[in-house]
Amino acid sequence: MARIRLIGTDSPESDQGSFGAEATSALTGMIPPGTEVQIEQDPEPRDRYGRLLAYIWHDGTLVNWRMVREGWAVLLTYPPNVQYVDLFTNAQRRAREEMRGLWRTGGFDCLPVEHRRYRCD
């Protein structure tokens, strides 16, 4: 089984308090282990860690978008994989305005990318 990185999204790390577990739980609720999904790729098929970079579709819904729209992930893009960047940008704006998911509980006071760079207290 390949490790998959959801293109265009970034969720809290497991060492970011309960936020990482909450995001993982949200994703598992959307696509429980063993769920059949459709995978769509952009020009760059793998990241530097060898993970498959993909858009995940389940029941006609783009799971990457849903994670951002429901506030369990934030937008993070690495060109050339930017096919849905406008969709994700709008989803994040709306999730933040509506205080959905981790926006409501302070889970993005320190963005995951900043946490990985040790830039948050």
Domain harbouring 93, CATH code: 2.40.50.90
Instruction: Read off the tokens for 84.
Output: 């849905």
On whether the CB atoms of residues 109 and 19 are closer than 8 A, the answer is no
**Count of domains for the chain:** 1
| Catalytic one of 46, 51, 96, 100 | 51
Residue 43 within a domain: yes
Backbone angle region of 33, left / alpha / beta, with phi > 0 → left and psi within -120 to 50 → alpha: beta
Residue 120 within a domain: no
State which residues form the domain around 14.
Answer: 4-112
Indicate whether 16 pLDDT > 90: no
| Catalytic one of 5, 22, 66, 70 | 5
- Judged by DSSP in three states, 74 sits in strand
Residue 118 within a domain: no
Residue 95 within a domain: yes
Known catalytic membership, residue 51: yes
Known catalytic membership, residue 93: no
Residue 8 within a domain: yes
List pLDDT tens digits, range 57-105: 999 999 999 999 999 999 999 999 999 999 999 999 999 999 999 999 9
Instruction: Read off the tokens for 89.
Output: 């940008």
Known catalytic membership, residue 13: yes
Residue 14 within a domain: yes
Indicate whether 121 pLDDT > 80: no
Q: Residue 1: which pLDDT band, with cuts at 50, 70 and 90?
A: low
